[in-house]
Structure 1
Amino acid sequence: MTTLNPLTTRTAEPVGPPPAAASPAPAQAAAQPAMSLRLGMGLVGMLLASLLAIVNEQVTALAMTDIRGALSIGHDDGSWLTVLFEAANVSTMIFAPWFGITFTLKRFTLAAVAASMVIGLLCPLAPNLSTFYVLRVLQGIASGCLPPMLIIVALRYLPPKIKLYGLAGYALTATFGPSVGTPLVALWTEYVSWKMTFWQIVPFGLLSCAAIQYGLPQDALKLDRFRSFDWMGLITGGPAVAMLVIGLLQGDRLDWLNSPFICVMLFGGVLLFVVFLVNEWFHPLPFFKLQLMYRRNFTHGLSTLVAAVMLLVGVAVIPAQFLARIHTYRPLQTAPLSLLVAIPLLVTLPLTAALLNTRRIDSRWVMASGLSLLATTCLLGSYMTSEWVRENFYWLQSLQIVAQPMVILAILMGVTTGLPPTEGPFASAMFNSLKAFTGVAATALIDGLGTAREHFHSSMLVDHLGNNALITNQSIDAIQGIGQLAHRVHEQAVVLTSADLYRVMAMIAIAALLLVPVLPVRIYPPWSTTPPSPR
């Protein structure tokens, strides 16, 4: 397994693992089962569980119109169904790896999947809105336990030769999962019932439980870890992240810092999170092992992960919002955009893993190529017009088929290379929590910046029309024309706002691209044990 010294190795130097890493300690070798069909089924079960959590996360956002209609609630009440789930989901990811190791990966994952299914069955049957809120919070906790388990299992059980392919499976949760969620929700809401958007997880959950029960080894309980339980981390980290998530997702609706509630959520959350980080640095058995940040590639991976998640959210949300607001598309009509990316990823992800598993390929330049494609996508999208329909976005989305695997897999390779299995839970907690929180921050950025820019463009367009004295006739016909003109102004403001958001995404991609030649060091595939001979 590759090792990496981020404190002494210069960026220009190729970093390869020392020959001694080729012969692991007997205890370590014995602890890692050989790869078999049975273990492979267990890993597939873990992947299904993680995808189930990702799809379940999108339900209330994508089916909100139908849910609000069925429950007879307004926009404000409906927004809390998504916000409460996200707050519970992101907060749980901090602590899930610790509990997964303590109660064993197999038991903990099975319990989380079972809880997700049972609560999913109950959600549409809730007798009132308050009960629905409570069920979504509980389901958020259960779903937040699942994605972190997948990366721990991949690091622990996969042999070096196929480790990158296992990480490609994990990458599906960041790429394929969100893309396939839209078509599934659209299918149920259009042709069956909104209740099926919650119940759809049951068959996948049963398959996942069967595969995990059959395939994963059963470890011994480690309840003695509770003697060193990080109580301060629990009571500061969970509320801190929950408050930040609530503040970000409700900020645009409540006018950000003009709302005392949002101020308390954001500033209180930041203060608690600082206390949490200080505690984690000194605690003997923390949830976050901040010392991992000494690894240059780990730090770079987390930094680039923020940019990558922002971009993945942006290139999915911007066209969907544009088509919904300009051409009144429903989720079923935007589903082909998601499927265009999702289905080919099943091929491009393993192909990218095979490319990175080649010794001669430098993962840094694979990542740089992917970021360049993402930046190109966003820059081209900034030239949209009001005449653009779904087909105009196909050629932009097709670039994502290649770009997303190149970026995500290169990040995962940089973060996990040289990481011993014992540190996998710490890396998983930090990686998954940051990924989920960045998704929330990206949504808040798009909503907040989108609202501000739309107001700006609307004001500028109206001022321009007024200065040119285009509206002078007060006749009945002119009043009708004013209504049409107002619609046209709104339409152009939405177009200009979407173009601005694409430009912001392009700037994020370029910023991440500039880090590639500076921060990370050269690494080699996990199976590689000696650096290449100089030529």
Structure 2
Amino acid sequence: MAATPTAPPAPAPFGPRLAIGLVGVLIAALSSGINDRVTDIALADVLGAFGAGHDEGSWVGTLYSAAEVSAMLIAPWLAVTFSLRRFAIVMTLAFSLLGALCPFAPNLSSLLLLRVLQGLAGGALPPLLMTVALRFLPWHVKLYGLSAYALTATFGPNIALPLAAAWTEGLDWRLVFWQILPFGLLSSALIAYGLPQDPLALQRFKQVDWRGALLGCGGIFMLVIGLTQGERLDWLDSPLIRWLLSGAAICLPLFAINEWFHPLPLMKLQLLGRRNFAFGLITLILFVMVALSGVGIPSSYLASVQGYRPLQTLPLALLVAVPQLLMAPLVATLINRNWVDARYVIACGLLLLALACLGGSHLTSDWIRDDFYPLQLIQTVAQPMVVVPLLMIATGVIMPMEGPFASAMVNSLRGLASVVGSVLVENLVTEREHLHSNHLLDQLGSRQQEFAALLDDNAMASLAGRVREQAYVLAFSDAYLALIGIIAVMLVVLLVLPQRPYPPQPPKAAPPTQPAPQPLAPTQAMATS
């Protein structure tokens, strides 16, 4: 007999106390995402302190990302089972404590173990934010809660670069790990004060989806490691990469089949049958890849071509990140009107993103930081115009008791898309740089005798450096053009898939019940007859 999911307890009345608890979950979720990005940006400084090289040190980010995305899959189920408040506090404190211990690791192997454990704790936090927003927020403030969740996709990734620059340029590299400690303690206190305490639901272990957890987490773990280490180990020429990608190709389809038929799954794949939810999920996955054009590509270009340090790139990231604290609620206010069609807001945001990428595709080797400011302003406006409405569209068809299923699906696939997008852009830039470099060197070789007669050895070496620089410029231009192609796919999906969405509406009042007819008294019955 198919089991039915345990219905969540009745939500507590929304008030200042509950709002404080939601702020605590938001801080915890943002700290998790920021910690991941800051560590990746400051990896060279961390490896220098541990005396490790780039190849072995690359596992620091790989293992953290693999554990983080895997935890996103099972966190909503665990939160319902152990109670959301209790689970959020334990994961936040564990995430903070493990981060505080990382600088004290005696060697790289110990650091890798701590990062895996921290990734498991940190990955559990973003899904809780969506779960809390869907469960506790009443209809008139639900969009503002979703706009807070949108900050994890717009504000968090973009603020990481300024923080990494602040800790590594003149301050202590240990702050890369310790920065989360005060925020973790603060968010734990806010969660403990504000969120209501649900009873334990340990009876859910009788129907736990062990097979799905092993297949899903194992498949995600292998896929993330295979993708992030593939370029360094030469992809399918490496037996390790072949085994990892083959294992993921087997586990993930079996996981999907298991989730479809399991009575209490981790992911409810049947939700994809709702057009608006499918649209939101597809668009969010593609947006995570396109969002790399905001800070990722400009900072990589300035570092590779102009030799900028993170501190010199800091204003670009701040220009995109800080206004999101205002832009996200403003967009929520706009689309919280019945006469505003959120699909048109998304279309405008996508066109602005395409305009920014088109402008970036015209970069030259003369571009410096100031040349990116107009593009960053466009990104500042465009990103929330895409993320906030698509969250409204996707969650508008989700019932409160389906929140954990939707949260597991959205967050795990979004985390996986972040890894895939970073790998794709990085490998695209590398491959295109090699292609353009070979092409330019071929042209230079055909005129070698002419240049040799005019230039000495120093001039020839300088010319070779200019060739490499120009190859990087062309490669980053190609990356912008590739992102325009992804935006075009998002526009096609927008035209085809979603139905007309409306902002959250007040619950319909129940029809008045008619009083049950009372039996007539004996005297009345005789008079009637």
Same fold per TM (> 0.5)? yes
What does 1:115-514 correspond to in 2, within 5 Å?
115-469=94-448, 472-473=451-452, 478-514=456-492
What letter is aligned with 1:183? P
Q: CA RMSD in A?
A: 1.6
In 2, distance between residues paired with 1:471 and 1:130? 54
Q: 1:110 aligns with which of 60, 69, 89?
A: 89
Q: 1:45 corresponds to which residue?
A: 24
> Cα distance, 1:410 vs. partner?
1.4
Letter in 2 for 1:273: L
Per the alignment, residue 4 of structure 2 pairs with none
Structure 2 CA distance for aligned equivalents of residues 282 and 92 of structure 1: 22
Pairs aligned (count): 503
After superposition, the Cα gap between the structure-2 partners of 1:82 and 1:47, relative to the gap in structure 1 and judged at 3 Å, is same
SS at match of 1:263: helix
Q: Match of 1:94?
A: 73
Q: Secondary structure at the match of 1:451?
A: helix
CA–CA distance in structure 2, aligned partners of residues 96 and 230 of structure 1: 13
Give the Å deviation of 1:29. 11
- For 1:470 and 1:526, the matched residues in 2 are separated by 72
Greater CA drift, 65-74 or 210-219 = 65-74
In 1, the alpha carbon distance for the partners of 2:453 and 2:61 equals 45
Instruction: Using the TM superposition, name which of 464-473 and 428-437 deviates more.
Output: 464-473
- Alpha-carbon shift at residue 467 of structure 1 (Å): 2.1
* Contact map agreement 1:154 1:163 (CA 8 A) in 2: yes
Q: Residue 309 of structure 1 contacts residue 442 of structure 1 at CA under 8 Å; is this kept in 2?
A: yes
1:313 Cα deviation from its structure 2 partner: 2.0
- How many angstroms apart in 2 are the aligned matches of 1:275 and 1:444? 25
- Equivalent residue, structure 2, for 1:6: none
CA distance in 2, matches of 1:350, 1:374: 19
Q: 2 CA distance for matches of 1:124 and 1:381?
A: 38
- Are 2:503 and 1:525 equivalent residues in the alignment? yes
Displacement of 1:449 in angstroms is 1.2
- Relative to structure 1, the CA distance from residue 314 to residue 264 in structure 2 (aligned partners, 3 Å threshold; closer, same or farther) is farther
414-423 or 466-475, larger mean C-alpha shift: 466-475
CA-CA distance at 1:198 after TM superposition: 0.2
| 2-structure distance, mates of 1:109, 1:149 | 7
Residue 58 of structure 1, CA deviation: 1.4
- Cα distance, 1:158–1:372 mapped onto 2, change above 3 Å: same
Q: 4+ residue runs of structure 1 moved beyond 4 angstroms? A: none
The answer to whether the 8 A contact 1:314-1:442 is kept is no
1:251–1:444 contact (8 Å) kept in structure 2: no
Q: Compute the displacement of 1:30 (Å).
A: 8.2
CA contact (8 A) 2:279 2:498 kept: yes
How far apart, in 2, do the equivalents of 1:177 and 1:336 lie?
Answer: 15
Q: Shift of the alpha carbon at 1:511?
A: 1.1
Give me the TM-score of the superposition, normalised by structure 2: 0.93
Match of 1:69 in 2: 48
C-alpha distance after superposition, 1:8-53 (max 9, x if no partner): xxxxxxxxxxxxxxxxxxxx99812221111110000000000110
Preserved contact between residue 360 and residue 375 of structure 2 (Cα < 8 Å): yes
Q: TM-score, normalised by structure 1?
A: 0.92
* Gapped regions of structure 1 (runs ≥ 5): 1-27, 531-535
**Distance in 1, Cα, partners of 2:120 & 2:273:** 30
Amino acid at match of 1:438: A
Q: Identify the structure with bigger relative contact order (alpha carbons < 8 Å, sequence gap 6+).
A: 1
Structure 2 unaligned spans of 5+: 1-6, 509-529
SS in 1 for 2:379: helix
Residue 257 of structure 1: how far off its partner (Å):
2.1
Q: What's the CA shift for 1:474?
A: 7.3
Question: Equivalents in 2 of 1:470, 1:394: separation in Å?
Answer: 43
Separation in 2, partners of 1:29, 1:142? 23
CA distance in 1, matches of 2:474, 2:489: 23
Report if aligned partners of 1:465, 1:471 keep a CA contact under 8 Å in 2.
no
Contact 1:359 1:528 in 2 (8 A): no
Residues in 2 aligned to 1:30 and 1:147: alpha-carbon distance in whole angstroms: 21
